[in-house]
Amino acid sequence: MEPVVPLDDAAPAHGGKAAALGVLRRAGLPVPDGFVVPASLDGDGLVAAVDGALDTLGRHAPVAVRSSASDEDGARASAAGQYATVLGAVGTDRVVEAVRACRASAAGPRAMAYRSATSGLHTPADVSVVVQRLVDARVAGVLFTGDGRAVVEASWGLGESVVQGAVGPDRWTVADGRVVEHRTGDKRTRVDRARTGPGAGTTTRDVPASERDRPCLDDDTVLRLAALGQRVADLRGGPQDVEWAVDDAGTVWLLQARPVTAALPDPPAERGGRADVLRGTGASGGRASGPARVVHGPDGFAAVRPGDVLVCRETDPAWTPLFGVVAAVVTETGGLLSHAAIVARELRLPAVLGVPAATDVLRDAPTVTVDGDTGTVATP
């Protein structure tokens, strides 16, 4: 039975996420220290190995526990958000529980639906697990490299708000060493590490009104992020999807790097036309029409029919099974680099995100046309 592996020594046998982080650490890039729990390590051996390895990180320090599955973070399929992540775990018992949760998620409906759609496989993947020091992020998010530009999305607190599509993130585009475009989002909530409670974890709270539409990064930090992203792309040999965090001291940390599996849509041309057309962010290209199906949570999944246009406030990864059924997706929050947007692009599912009041305006609409190239949603 293989013992835990220092993150510096992570290899492809430990899954795509762990292997990539090992490459970055060996290159001297700012990646939080940690270790990998191999898929084969279980039982009493798992508890003893985790207990000993936590000494290297600080026994009572909060950690991030993330899957590193055999089919995750690959060149053709990212599995973005399809496996469990546990942030802010503290202590041996909670970390072991989190490791087992990551492994168990491989057999869950979202991971299995995604695996079937992208590879045709119907058995769970093997799951190694990465355990790292948690970065108490002041700001966090995602950046994509490629096509001579970098796109950065960010929000206050931990990056869960951005990847889960729970906020309208701030967005910057960088080209030729300068910021060429900036859009300030509507950042109404933030996720942070819980400071108290057994096993700790995270907490979600409202962002003060004065901070919601204030940029959470300055241009200098955006340019630093873009430069780091390019270093990662050069090191990894192609465009990269990078998760990052900035702590209270202003230090930038890299939390994940994986290949970009589907290119971002081109920015739309200047949009004129009908005043009654709803507008948002074209997150996945293509055009599709169907009846609007407003869904507020998992209790509404059974009402979704093939060919519907899914309309919701946000789509966390648990909604992925619906992506194989619906014709298109419209959300009220979320950005280009959220997990939902990445999966929609991989599945070639038209998606427009960040459409204000979509669940009210489109309720019961018999036909909705979603254009992911222009970022528009129209009714007859």
Residues 240 and 220: their CA atoms lie apart, in Å, by 21
Known catalytic membership, residue 296: no
Q: Which run of H or of E encompasses 353?
A: strand 351-353
Residues 163 and 153: their CA atoms lie apart, in Å, by 9
Residue 299, φ and ψ in degrees, nearest 5: -65, -20
Q: Distance of CA 71 to CAs 68, 99, 112, 127, 258, Å? A: 8, 17, 11, 9, 12
Torsion of CA 138, 5, 103, 62, to 10 degrees: -30
Give the 3-state secondary structure of residue 92. Answer: helix
**Rounded to 5 degrees, what angle do the CA atoms 156, 160, 164 make?**
120
Instruction: Lay out the sheet containing 351-353: strands in order across.
Output: 281-284, 351-353, 328-331, 309-312, 292-294
Give the 3-state secondary structure of residue 229. Answer: helix
Residue 319, φ and ψ in degrees, nearest 5: -90, -5
Which are the contacts of 278, defined by CB distance < 8 A and separation ≥ 6?
A: 330, 352, 355, 356, 358, 361, 362, 376, 377, 378
Q: Which run of H or of E encompasses 140?
A: strand 137-146
Residues 54 and 65: their CA atoms lie apart, in Å, by 12
Which of 60, 122, 296, 339 is labelled catalytic?
Answer: 339
For residue 315, the number of C-alpha atoms closer than 13 Å in the C-beta half-sphere is 36
Catalytically active residues, by annotation = 339
